[in-house]
Amino acid sequence: MKTRDPPEKEVSGKQADVSKDKLSSQPYITHIPENLNMSHHFSSLLLSCDPVATVLEVTSLSTLSVVSWLYRVQVQGSMSLLELAIGMWVLGVVRRLYNNYLEAVYCTFPLYRTQPIKEHMLRGERDLVGRDREQLAAIVTQDRLTFISQFSLDLFVYFSLPGFYPAHTITTTSALRRVIQLVLNHYVMSFGMYWTHRALHKNLWLWRNIHSVHHWSKHPLSRTTYQDHWLDNFGNAIVGHIFAQILVPLDAQMFWVSRVLRVCESLEKHSGVSGYFNLVHSVQRWLPFAQMPHHHDWHHEGHKGCNYTFSSLGGLWDCVFGTRKTGRAARGVQTVWDEMEQGRYSFDTKYFDGIYTCFIPLFALSGVVVNSLQCSLEGRTKVRRRRIKGAGCRKHQHFGKSQISNTQEEVSVP
């Protein structure tokens, strides 16, 4: 989808300002709103800019909530379907609230922006992040397909993988161990998403037809986080969230904590600001080779040439596999890892840059997941057989006791 760039235009003072009422009604802004307080960015919390997508989401979640409440649906070993529906509602609200918060920070504190203000100048019919009207129309369709595919995937996994959405149980595991398990889960998630992201850049077909949609955004804002090709989001959900929960399962509480952290982290790294306003990234700065939003922002600036900074969480895998780049950030925001010599802890992984070899790590990870599922299935089968055998033994014992009792009664009769 190639279009010629229209000539640059200067932004007049009238164009640079926007009323409070218009801020929430515009799906894509072509200038940076000025003279607005942070509270003005929260005028539209639950509605997206696409009415069709909003109706689709509200209708689907409402139907799921009502059905799960009326019929009390619950797969063995899993949380109830109603809790899953409530979780979807909560994540939807969190996405909108945190998106508005980050965009409010972007507009209110320009010193924390990851790119100079002059680079966000209006270019004709392009929006603030660099997309033209034809691209915006395509993204609206992809947004709708993303919700449909993600909603269907969640329901499919719930009914086909018992226990994936863990049931609430009384746990005796220490808080420290649960936190460590959460960190490991996120590193496994990041590993899968790292190689998926890298393959989307290295394989020319995947880049042209799928991942380039996300890179239409040259100056990301938080609202562009999930504006990808629907297959891009679909693949990340499988290789990231699903694979990680299978290999490093979390309990019910940590499962939802993980989902909320992941949503906020994704929004932050596309927010266009890098600093202590990024709450999740600030918390994870203590992790080895941690990254801040300015790392991923630099990835977007380079478009197809940005074959680096692929990690979704932490930043460890970029360092290990030699694809870490620092990017631009305000003084004091850079992490201690940015000052280290690049490549000091890296391995040469250029072999995996081929259009086919880039899939090798993903195939290996998929094999581990399949093996884990087979072991889990065999374990459940053995438990089920033991229960059936135990029930049969108890029935046989009960029948034997009844026979002995009847014999004694017959002997006692004169």
Q: 200: which DSSP letter?
A: H
Residue 373 token pair? 């599922």
Task: Report the pLDDT averaged over residues 82-106.
Answer: 92
**Average of per-residue pLDDT values in the chain:** 80
Helix, strand, coil shares of the chain as percentages rounded to 5?
65, 0, 35
Residue 412 pairs in a beta bridge with none
Question: Which residue has better confidence, 129 or 196?
Answer: 196
Residue 364 token pair? 């290996």
Digit-coded pLDDT (tens) for 263-296: 999 999 998 888 888 999 888 877 878 888 888 8
Q: Which of 126, 107, 106 is nearest to 36 (CA)?
A: 107
Digit-coded pLDDT (tens) for 290-328: 888 888 887 887 644 567 788 877 788 988 898 887 766
Taking the whole predicted model, whether its pTM rises above 0.85 is answered as no
Please name the residue that has the structure tokens 């195939």. 363
Residue 104 token pair? 């409010």
pLDDT score of 25? 45
Select the highest-mean-pLDDT range: 10-19, 144-153, 369-378: 144-153
pLDDT score of 5? 37
pLDDT score of 293? 85
Digit-coded pLDDT (tens) for 33-88: 666 666 666 554 445 567 888 899 999 999 999 999 999 999 999 999 999 999 99
Domains of the chain by residue range: 13-355
pLDDT score of 110? 80
Q: What is the CB neighbour count within 10 angstroms for residue 19?
A: 11
- Tell me whether residue 364 is exposed, middle or buried, using C-beta atoms within 10 angstroms of its C-beta: 0 to 12, 13 to 18, 19 or more: exposed
Please name the residue that has the structure tokens 């209708």. 59
- Tell me whether residue 232 is exposed, middle or buried, using C-beta atoms within 10 angstroms of its C-beta: 0 to 12, 13 to 18, 19 or more: buried
Task: Report the pLDDT averaged over residues 361-382.
Answer: 90
Task: Report the pLDDT averaged over residues 357-369.
Answer: 95
